[in-house]
Structure 1
């Protein structure tokens, strides 16, 4: 299967999701662990004090007396109804429990008891609690208990407002009645006849439990976030570098294909010309021989230029400049004269407007010539008009000499403008595909501009030509 960027992205996304899930699972388990052990020492202290306060009592100090008054006070009547009228027993037992529960809620003193415990033990946490009754059972015979209330049952004659999933709420405002907030569950019973058994619980928690746990977990959370972020950043950098390497590899492949074609053209011309010159009729005819030698000369020079450009690709990271003070107007006059003489296009109109009042600058004549000629070549190659126009205009201000080279060619899109100075870059339009080249001309231009520490600006629109403006600091 071919390894593509899409497959790479899919694998990366899948790996990221798996890593995120593992991190979430570890963080969740850490939270649950801290949640289970949160407030453990304080809760144990409060629980021990609470158990001491209700020793030989039920639910809260004084709660046992209330329960005894209702349950033990109606024990004979309850037994009679149980033996002779079960429906009446169910109704009456619920009514007894309802009355006992109401009195317990009214007499609840756990708020003051817990406040005293907190102060005595110097506990500064703000807590909330819930006191519940889970079950009440009576025994007419020893150890044979009959349930009259259980937390998961349905009871018509008990106030529904005090019934919860955790049982009868006697007091407190805590709503999160879970194992991690349970302080103590107590079952009180006596192994005798005519008694009752009761199960009740105390739940304790702080008001800011979740926020406190999250604060405690913040270093772990940040470390996890940084690790995931680091992996994502590492992937992004690696993927970007891989894309660059892949693009560079493709560009090198395109370069090899292009340079092979470029070398083939002059070599073929030289071979054909040489074969023709070997003809005896041509050898004896000087007038026929001279044009062929000129062909060989021109194509040899072209081949030499191509070889030089190919070698310079690996050595052009920084140019070695031979700077001189020169008149740009004089250089441009010579350049335009040579270009007109050597231009293969007879329909190129090349003009120069010297509007600059100061034109002496510090430059390397060879690389200045390379800059101008490469821009000229591009203006001619990427021009589909019958009459090609190149207008060179100079103008100056207090600090800079500006050279504007305008053409009436095919122009450039914004995409082409962004990449025009990249090595081997060539546009992908149909017009670009018809033009032969290596995509090195403007790369050389940009390198020479950067080495001189000049500036170059491009204004261009598709179908409307281009203007290259070079800004050169004036020499003192």
Structure 2
């Protein structure tokens, strides 16, 4: 299981990092596209308005209409007839007409001076460059009652260049796409576009988005460092946990072996009780045996408090009443003659999901404390059930020394001993175990009673829906 976890963690980290990086990259890309779309939109609108005022009564540029009338318009009727009649030289004739027309437009255009004047008048950036581009020529087909494209050039086709130094026209830097039309001698429509941009538009956009890029890069670096640090910490914790488990197992073996040897030797001394000298030896053997058992119990408690963090709950669904009776019968046999254990069984059959070992340890520690911290000659502890809403609570009452009110908040802390515990032997781990097991099960505990000699009342609230169910 541990090996599987070690293998899954790097894959989970790598997958999460790739997903996160892809998401950030996707957001940056879309931000770039949006920035590219809206870049210099204010300047483009001002250029469009100013250009419209310049060529209000002409075509493309002042004097452009005359070029249309002398160069392009005379060719249109013949071109139209060839096209409609599907003449073999229709396209060749059309290319000849358009090439001559576009060449004439390039030679006589005044767009350079117009653009510089617009830039100056509008106070725009003088590093802007432009591109006037022919898009298509359409002629109205009276037979089909539709516009037919006779000649067209793509935006990146330099053959359609009329004027300008801009190398590439796109939808994002296009100021407008206009069509000029006339009915004579036949209906035609001439479409062209104006593009305005910086030569280094891409680099300008990158510079403008540099804070976003740097912040995103910084976030990715921080996430990588934190994830790597987390992964390294996790690896170190696993190593420490494995080392701790190995140490605990080694310590149990090293301590249990001599303690077991001492107990066996003490028991052998007790069995030799025949003569006077042997009786004294046997008495010393009983002392050694009693103290060895006490030392072994303390050692197991300390080892248990450390190993508790490594335990995993084994949740099963059981009848809480039958399980409680079985545990208390076992504890009755274990502590026979030391305490009277009373139990009021449930009237209904209720199933709960819990860890049986946890539940046994909870009851065992409560009974053990009721014996240890009790000065009465007849020690008693009573278990009963209370129904609160849809959940059952276990009530535990003993006749021991009680727990002072000032100690009730801290009594479940490891190695804490209350004021009323006096010089009783113990390490202060019993109620710590109880609280730890209850936390693992999602249950809570409340303590009542604060007067010396009045006993203690515990309430265990089994109210966690995820672990409880009434049948």
TM-score, normalisation: structure 1? 0.52
Distance in 2, Cα, partners of 1:92 & 1:117: 38
- Which aligned pairs between 1:71-470 and structure 2 lie closer than 5 A? 71-75=72-76, 77-78=78-79, 86-138=87-139, 147-151=149-153, 164-165=156-157, 168-191=160-183, 193-271=185-263, 273-274=265-266
CA gap of 1:36–1:30, structure 2 versus 1, over 3 A, is same
Q: Give the aligned partner of residue 19 of structure 1.
A: 20
CA gap of 1:84–1:254, structure 2 versus 1, over 3 A, is closer
Distance in 2, Cα, partners of 1:249 & 1:110: 79
Distance in 1, Cα, partners of 2:70 & 2:252: 110
Aligned length: 291
Distance in 2, Cα, partners of 1:183 & 1:16: 42
In the TM superposition, residue 240 of structure 1 has moved relative to its aligned partner by 2.7
In the TM superposition, residue 24 of structure 1 has moved relative to its aligned partner by 0.8
Distance in 2, Cα, partners of 1:4 & 1:83: 76
Distance in 2, Cα, partners of 1:272 & 1:146: 112
Instruction: Please say if residues 276 and 282 of structure 1, whose CA atoms lie closer than 8 Å, have aligned partners that are also in contact.
Output: no
Secondary structure of the equivalent of 1:134?
Answer: strand
CA deviation map 1:131-171 (0-9, x unaligned)? 1111123459698755431226xxxxxxxxxx954871112
In the TM superposition, residue 282 of structure 1 has moved relative to its aligned partner by 12
Instruction: Please say if residues 48 and 176 of structure 2, whose CA atoms lie closer than 8 Å, have aligned partners that are also in contact.
Output: yes
Distance in 2, Cα, partners of 1:164 & 1:277: 108
CA RMSD of aligned residues (A): 4.0
Q: Give the aligned partner of residue 347 of structure 2.
A: none
1:34 aligns with 2:35: yes
TM-score, normalisation: structure 2? 0.53
In the TM superposition, residue 19 of structure 1 has moved relative to its aligned partner by 0.9
Instruction: Please say if residues 167 and 199 of structure 2, whose CA atoms lie closer than 8 Å, have aligned partners that are also in contact.
Output: no
CA deviation map 1:204-246 (0-9, x unaligned)? 1112212221222122222222333333333233323323332
Distance in 2, Cα, partners of 1:14 & 1:225: 18
CA gap of 1:34–1:271, structure 2 versus 1, over 3 A, is same
Gaps in structure 2 of 5+ consecutive residues: 307-471
In the TM superposition, residue 69 of structure 1 has moved relative to its aligned partner by 0.8
Distance in 2, Cα, partners of 1:237 & 1:75: 76
